[in-house]
Amino acid sequence: MPAASQSTPSPLAPPLLDAQGRRMTYLRLSITDRCNFRCTYCSPASWGGKKDLLTAQEFERIVSVFASMGIQRVRLTGGEPLIRPDILEIAQRISALPGVRHLAITTNASHLERLAAPLREAGVTQLNMSLDTLSEETFRRISKQGDFATTLRGIDAAARVGFSSLKLNVVVMRGVNDDEVPALVRHAHERGITPRFIELMPFGQGTPVPSAELVERLQASGLALVSEPAEDASSATSGPARYWRAPTGRVGFISPLTQNFCGGCNRVRVASNGDLRSCLGGRAQAPLHQLIRGGATDTELALAIRGALGEKPEGHRFTEAGNGATLLPMMGIGG
């Protein structure tokens, strides 16, 4: 008898693997590259933004394909995602998709005083809120736009709503806000929020501070820190942060320069115009928006996604000489 033929797996079926065999479970989806702040490390004055953003229905279509391929966690980024007038519709559509277990948003918190509760009702489970300083003067130095008091009230509003996870993202710049790290830990922990200190990446202005130096500073300030085991990279909720435990709560550190986290990467990114970027530090992309608007089937979208991830590099190469000049601004990538 002839041997039974083996059927070819559907491109829409999990797992979703990259060129190194890493399993992708986490989609970072930029829904706008515009922002009401202009932070020096993220959005240079020359950045004009993309002109053809996707609709709520198109975002839903893209996420549904990714979810069928094994994506379980989706994070909406920007720019500032909460400036989109249809943000609640986008959140509702994506949170209702089969396979999506976690829906998170990264925000500068400036609209949370009004939107924290509606976002929770729309299915958002986690918020990462950016706050680089507790000084209004330093706030103005980092961002010429935005309102400091409104940002603080937005963070407090989110803390009252009952999200399953709240994190405070701090980009640390030497000589700008590095002396505020202990105060920012206290501010976050008093509100039940986990602070995370991020090494400045080569997308804009400023000098980074190594995470190990910040750990030493916190310990010298009297905060007892105990390192936690690294998260399992195969987990749908794992990310690049490494956490330490203090008596008052957790403290996270994201160290793209000194503690390269690419080996455990489980992330894929789609920009606000539908360009799929397999790596934060590269320009290779797949134009999913053109495929959708050209009438592509879900299978054709899945094949394009797998093709792009088949070219994903082993690492971001941020530290290679001259590489910074080839990078898009952070707000053009979606973080």
Residue 306 is labelled as binding a ligand: no
The domain in which residue 301 lies consists of: 26-169+263-317+328-333
User: Phi-psi category of 155—alpha, beta or left, where left has phi over 0 and alpha has psi -120 to 50?
Assistant: alpha
12 pLDDT above the threshold of 70? yes
Residue 262 is labelled as binding a ligand: yes
- Residue 250 is assigned to a structural domain of this protein: no
71 pLDDT above the threshold of 90? yes
The residues near 323 (Cβ < 8 Å, ≥ 6 apart) are 202, 281, 317
- Residue 96 is assigned to a structural domain of this protein: yes
Number of compact structural domains in the chain: 1
| Per-residue pLDDT tens digits for 170-226 | 999 999 999 999 999 999 999 999 999 999 987 667 899 999 999 999 999 999 999
Residue 42 is labelled as binding a ligand: yes
Residue 243 is labelled as binding a ligand: no
| Per-residue pLDDT tens digits for 241-289 | 999 999 999 999 999 888 765 667 898 999 999 999 877 765 667 899 9
| Separation of alpha carbons 318 and 201, rounded Å | 8
The pLDDT value given to residue 48: 56
Residue 99 is labelled as binding a ligand: no
Residue 75 is labelled as binding a ligand: yes
Residue 191 is labelled as binding a ligand: no
- Residue 57's SS3 state is helix
- Residue 290 is assigned to a structural domain of this protein: yes
How does DSSP assign 224-288, residue by residue? Answer: --EEPPPPPTTSTT--S-EEEEETTEEEEEE-TTTS--GGG--EEEE-TTSEEES-TT---EEEH
Q: Note the pTM of the prediction, 2 decimals.
A: 0.89
Residue 23 is labelled as binding a ligand: no
Residue 41 is labelled as binding a ligand: yes
Residue 267 is labelled as binding a ligand: yes
| Separation of alpha carbons 331 and 37, rounded Å | 11
Residue 28 is labelled as binding a ligand: yes
Instruction: Find the CATH number of the domain harbouring 313.
Output: 3.20.20.70
- Residue 251 is assigned to a structural domain of this protein: no
- Residue 20 is assigned to a structural domain of this protein: no
- Residue 117 is assigned to a structural domain of this protein: yes
- Residue 82 is assigned to a structural domain of this protein: yes
- Residue 307 is assigned to a structural domain of this protein: yes
